[in-house]
Structure 1
Amino acid sequence: MASGSPIATVYVRNLEERVKPEVLKQTLHTIFSEYGNIIDIVAKTNLKAKGQAFVVFENPESAQKAIDEVQGFEIFDKPMQLALARTKSDATVARTGSEEELEAHKRRRLAEKDKKKAAQAAEEQKRRAPADISARPAKTQRGAGLKATGPAPSAVVPDEYLPPNRILFVQNLPDDFDADAVTNIFNRFDGFREVRLVPGRKGIAFVEYDTEQSAIAAKENTAGMALKDGEKTMKVTYQRQ
């Protein structure tokens, strides 16, 4: 669990995935409001996170009491599995901290999310990759008497699952975009350092920031941005390390 002040958020899983988010949130509010003031309920809707939710209380004592007394309670014919969340919720930070603290918290959360996605993608690629050819019985080419040699192809992590990096790789830029045009998009984010174009290559650029946190904020706010009246949609990922 993250260090610092106690967590006031209950992580709920094993929920019925077919229930609509609004119905689920209303049901959770009815059950958990008995244990304290609720300031937010987040019900996950994306495919991988369905069946999960976060109930954010005003104070940690309410969260712990709810876990102790509601653990295993069935809703929609499934027993809820409860635990304290690993980190503070955005709603908690917004309520108790400054706007700068909230933005920093969001950037840290996004960084952890990106790192987790990258690790999962790398593991999946490793699982799917063929076994090292050197571990297989050597096969002789027909009529040539030569043994097959060479390493197995290495697993490549997709761009969207790369771990955070302070350098962004920008693709699908209009051909007439120069360094100034790219700079005008990315220099509004804190920590901007420079734009580097690739000689002889149009449509791509590298954008460097002072820290990973600044790069994360820039990526989250520019990925998928429409350029030139919607003719181009900019792709922004982290540079491969």
Structure 2
Amino acid sequence: MTSTDDGETPPSATFVHCTSVYVRSIDERIKIPALITTLREVFGEYGNIVDVIAKKSYRRKGQAFVVFDSEDSAQTAIDELQGFEIFGKQMHLDFAKTRSDATVLREDNEEGFEAHKQHRLAEKERKQALIEAAEAKPAKRAAAEELAERPAKSTKPAQAAGVVPDEYLPPNKILFLRDLPEDYGQAALTAIFCRFTGFREVRTVPGRPEIAFVEYEDEGGAITAKESTGGMTLGEKAIRVTFQRQ
């Protein structure tokens, strides 16, 4: 895997014939190293692979790019592997909408590659600005809704000094998760917390991948889940699991 950052290919994109195959509908829970190894083995039957690109960020999960050294190899792979099942899901394949870095460097030399890279970075910054603007509105709305659900706080100084720490909040049916790894989205968290009786749903907060809420039908299921998952290590650190503040 390289540091190549090919853009995400939306369903409405106009695809061009090139040497890169865009792969989507991949199980998002699969670790990147295992995914890259599997794609190399599967696609390697149809030609020489120059690179396999997959990212663990939220917007890149469930997709990858396989770069061949020829358009014919890419076309054959698409024809033969369309709908082929890996990790329990059928792949959807198309030509990528842009050439990969490896392809540009091989075909256009260093000068062409630098121009390609500058254009890509400018486009990435433009898209990021649009995403941040779009995410700011629902994030503010979610914060306002959460605040509205809480009882009005007394303005008495004595009560302000007596706020109960999160770890000692009374049980209720909703858990509050913190310190989550960025690559653990709703699907991965659901796989962990659906094992406990009364599970209803996992709710994530746009723009805040490090926190989430898990709701159960009653306190009993939430208590069991909290006791079983509190301090669980996801990625490289332990997560914090408390009851939601009412």
TM-score calculated relative to the size of structure 1: 0.49
TM-score calculated relative to the size of structure 2: 0.48
Pick the structure with more helix per residue: 2
Greater relative contact order (CA < 8 Å, ≥ 6 in sequence): 2
